[in-house]
Homo-oligomer: A and B are copies of this chain.
């Protein structure tokens, strides 16, 4: 499957122009808020929604790719298994429909897999409600952007039709949610720009964490294990010198390790440290390092000095 959705016109005649499938865009999904657009903003139609950058596909309900994750969804009333509770949405995956009815099982692939990827990578998903989606929060016409949500669960179910559907639980992001609490070990991604917001939020630069994990192909730099899930391989980005006060470590690759969840918990809680030669202290072994990674010796020492319990 290509990750670019092409801008296709089939010009049969002026009258027979077929609608384009998507507004041409860059290959990579763009996660998080779109500059200048806030929850509540209205859009006349899918084309306006796509041109604004909120949801690039013109027909599909889910935007994204299985390699990157899903960046956006639209509730259009087309799936009978959707449940919209406002801050909690149970959203149905794509596929298996004909003429608006579920006629076969859905599969965890393509955009369905993309939305599952968003869960394990803790990527924010833009949510939009369309007028055909029957709900108090839907607009009378057109589309209303509802803000960022996170996928916190996905599973398969038997739909009302009797066929298998993939379902996702999405939870609205709250502006004063404690980022400290959501950051680890399961969630490493926030808005794509690093900026300090009001309160205690540290907005992660998800691109950095993503880079490091891609370099190691999700394999733990301590034990080599890459966790297998139905949404793809999983690993966690551990900051060596922690973010936030009073450590104020930077959100950059030289301060990030790709670790499995077990070694991440150990690393953050004095289970082991790393010496100047990358040998492990407290457990056996040596840290795997790719040349391009260039882990900072200063941050490694900071962690060693402050987290290893030593002999007391």
Binding site for B on A (CB under 8 A): 83, 85, 87-88, 90, 105, 107-109, 116, 119-120, 150, 152-157, 169, 171-174, 176-178, 180-182, 184-187, 199-200, 225, 227-231, 234, 242, 244-247, 260-262, 264-266, 268-271, 305-309, 312
Q: Inside 8 A of A169's CB, which chain B residues have their CB?
A: 180, 244-246
Taking A88-B245, A180-B171, A186-B185 as contacts, is the C-beta distance between A265 and B230 under 8 angstroms? no
Taking A88-B245, A108-B309, A155-B307 as contacts, is the C-beta distance between A230 and B261 under 8 angstroms? no
Specify the chain B residue showing the minimal Cβ separation from A306. Answer: B155
Contact assessment for A83 and B246 in the assembled complex, using a CB-CB cutoff below 8 Å: yes
7 pairs of A and B residues whose beta carbons are closest in the complex: A230-B270, A261-B261, A229-B269, A155-B306, A230-B309, A181-B182, A107-B312
Q: Inside 8 A of A153's CB, which chain B residues have their CB?
A: 242, 244, 268
Q: Smallest Cβ distance from A251 to chain B, in angstroms?
A: 16
Report the Cα distance A177→B107, complex, angstroms.
Answer: 33
Specify the chain B residue showing the minimal Cβ separation from A150. Answer: B181
Candidates B154, B180, B260, B306; contact of A156 at CB < 8 Å: B306
Contact assessment for A262 and B225 in the assembled complex, using a CB-CB cutoff below 8 Å: yes
